[in-house]
Amino acid sequence: MSYYRPAFRHPNLPANELGYTVEHYEGGLSTLCAGCGHDSITAAIVQACFEDNIEPSKVAKISGIGCSSKTPAYFLNSAHGFNSVHGRMPSVATGANLANRDLIYIGISGDGDTASIGMGQFVHCIRRNLNMVYIVMNNGCYGLTKGQDSATADQGSKSKAGSVNMFHAIDLASLAIELGATFVAQSFSGDKAQLVPLVKAAIKHNGFAFINVISPCVTFNNNVGSTKSYDYVRQHVEATSTIDFVPPAATITANYEQGSTKQLKMHDGTVIALHKLEQDWDPFDKLSAMTAMHKATIKGELLTGLLYMEEESSDLHSLLQTSTRPLNALSEAELCPGSKILEEINAGLR
């Protein structure tokens, strides 16, 4: 087994605007199982950050526990990182984000990490519209502990050992929309063409951006009868649109049929264009999104793409009216204004 990646790279690798090739965005060599969907999501994050000219040292990657939560070790080596406790990624991300609003926060979690032990943290993070990307690598099982059914396993899905899951699945994307998440997307680890622009858009979104990525566990949940296997997902995936991610300076060149396209501008001028949009689907209308999702569930389809987005989103910092500068950029006098100010505050609370 090679635990080591050769140092040589393709001599013609293109560089991005920062002058970095994709090599600058790599992490350590993955120790996940060969063929794990999580590795493809890692690669999509690498590609998105590279293409979007993101400075890796301006990123903080935070995770919980699980095979999925190991992946921050496999991308953006020079980013900040915190591998927290099982299900506690949201609170660590919240603290970090409040202390330093200038970083890009990428939270990585699993379906076990989010939908079971971390559920409480997850929902509150949504409520607060914390400015972060929250990716669930969803394989319907606890991969790291050898494949027990998770709370996102579909009812009737068969495990590798042959047992059939009797409980209803928690639909994380619907739940996120329901709880007021301002950016909700769903994708499949095997579809980078869709996943990469979604990650870029999520990074740009000013507020809580949730991506639920179906990510087959090749070792424990890729068997016939499982609804999270490569084959099953490929057969049941239904893209709601194709996505173009157009940086502020560029112009949209592709020509699409009238009426089937929706464009939306993000706060920095980036345009996301959704093409070949499903009929009766308005990703800016919560009701239309919810209805479509429920219909898809009944039909046994997995809807992917940008499901719902609120264009005008105010993140936690603007709600709380916090300092516009990160705490580490404030002087001691600003951080500890002295007992007189404290007395004034206390007086205001009386």
Partner 1 sequence: MKPTDIKNPEYFHKVVDCQYACPAHTNVPEYIRLIAEQKYSEAYMINWDSNVFPGVLGRTCDRPCEPACRRGRVEKEPVAICRLKRVAADNKGDVMKYMPKGPFKSNGKKIALVGAGPASLTVARDLAPLGYEIHLFDEQKKGGGFMLSQIPSFRLPETVLDEEVNYITGLGIHTFYNTYIKSLKKLLADGYDAIFVGSGAPHGRDLPDLKGRKEGAANIHIGINWLKGVAFEHIKKIGKKVIVLGGGNTAMDCCRTSRRLGGESVKVLVRSPFAEMKASPWEKEDAMHEDIPILDNHVPTSFVVENGKLKGMTFEKVKAVYDDKGKRSLVPTGEPEAFYEADDVLIAIGQENSFPWIERNIGIDFDKWGMPAVDNITYGSSNPKVFFGGDAAFGPKNIITAVAQGHQAAISMHLFCSGMDIKNDRPAPMVNLHSMKMGIHEWGYDNQVTNDLRYVVPQNDKKVTLKDRKKEVELGFDLPTGFKEAERCLNCDVETVFTENRCIECDACVDVCPTACITFTQNGEEDDLRSRLKAPALNKTQDLYVSDILPTKRVMVKDEDVCLHCGLCAERCPTSAWDMQQFFYNVTKAPGICKEEMAVN
Residue 240: CB partners within 8 Å, gap ≥ 6? 274, 277, 278, 281, 283, 292, 303, 304, 305, 306, 307
- Residue bearing tokens 């345009």: 271
Q: In angstroms, rounded to a whole number, what is the distance separating the alpha carbons of residues 255 and 277?
A: 14
- Binding site partner of 220, from partner 1, ligand TPP, ligand SF4, none, Cβ cut-off 5-8 A by kind: ligand SF4
- Return the ∠ at Cα 112 (arms to 106 and 114), rounded to 5°: 45
Q: Does 50 bind ligand TPP (CB under 6 A)?
A: no
Q: In angstroms, rounded to a whole number, what is the distance separating the alpha carbons of residues 303 and 179?
A: 19
Kindly identify the residues of this chain, within the stretch 55-94, that bind ligand TPP according to CB under 6 A.
Answer: 65-68, 86
Q: Structure tokens of 218?
A: 């090749």
Q: Does 112 bind ligand TPP (CB under 6 A)?
A: yes
| Nearest distance from C-beta of residue 82 to ligand TPP, angstroms | 16
Task: Identify which of 130, 71, 72, 206 has the alpha carbon closest to the alpha carbon of residue 121.
Answer: 130
Q: In angstroms, rounded to a whole number, what is the distance separating the alpha carbons of residues 114 and 126?
A: 12
Around Cβ 245, how many Cβ atoms within 10 Å?
20
| Nearest distance from C-beta of residue 230 to Mg ion, angstroms | 15
Q: Which of 111, 171, 191, 244 is close enough to bind ligand TPP by CB under 6 A?
A: 111
Task: Identify which of 38, 46, 59, 55 has the alpha carbon closest to the alpha carbon of residue 13.
Answer: 46
Complex with partner 1: residue 169 or 196, whichever CB lies closer: 196
Is-contact 274 305, C-beta < 8 A?
yes
Is-contact 67 36, C-beta < 8 A?
yes
Q: In angstroms, rounded to a whole number, what is the distance separating the alpha carbons of residues 169 and 116?
A: 11
Number of residues that bind Mg ion (CB under 5 A): 5
Q: Does 150 bind ligand TPP (CB under 6 A)?
A: yes
Segment near Mg ion (CB under 5 A), from 71-79, 139-147, 267-275, 300-308? Answer: 139-147
Q: Does 139 bind Mg ion (CB under 5 A)?
A: yes
Around Cβ 32, how many Cβ atoms within 10 Å?
20
| Nearest distance from C-beta of residue 146 to ligand TPP, angstroms | 9
Q: Does 113 bind ligand TPP (CB under 6 A)?
A: yes
Q: Does 139 bind partner 1 (CB under 8 A)?
A: no
Q: How far is residue 72 CA from its own chain's centroid?
A: 12
Complex with ligand TPP: residue 150 or 261, whichever CB lies closer: 150
Q: Structure tokens of 176?
A: 């996120």
Complex with ligand TPP: residue 126 or 239, whichever CB lies closer: 126
- Binding site partner of 65, from ligand TPP, partner 1, ligand SF4, none, Cβ cut-off 5-8 A by kind: ligand TPP
Q: In angstroms, rounded to a whole number, what is the distance separating the alpha carbons of residues 210 and 277?
A: 20
Q: Structure tokens of 126?
A: 């949504």
Q: What does the per-residue mask of binding to partner 1 show for 162-201, with x meaning CB under 8 A? A: ---------------------------xx-x---------
| Nearest distance from C-beta of residue 37 to ligand SF4, angstroms | 7
| Nearest distance from C-beta of residue 119 to ligand SF4, angstroms | 20
Complex with partner 1: residue 23 or 178, whichever CB lies closer: 23
Segment near ligand TPP (CB under 6 A), from 39-47, 143-151, 203-211, 268-276? Answer: 143-151
Task: Identify which of 8, 129, 104, 108 has the alpha carbon closest to the alpha carbon of residue 52.
Answer: 104
Kindly identify the residues of this chain, within the stretch 10-49, that bind partner 1 according to CB under 8 A.
Answer: 10-14, 22, 29-30, 33-37, 39-40, 42-43
Q: Does 253 bind partner 1 (CB under 8 A)?
A: no
Position 278: which residue type?
Answer: E
User: In the complex, which residues of this chain contact Mg ion (CB under 5 A)?
Assistant: 110-112, 139, 143
User: In the complex, which residues of this chain contact ligand TPP (CB under 6 A)?
Assistant: 65-68, 86, 110-113, 117, 137, 139, 141-145, 150
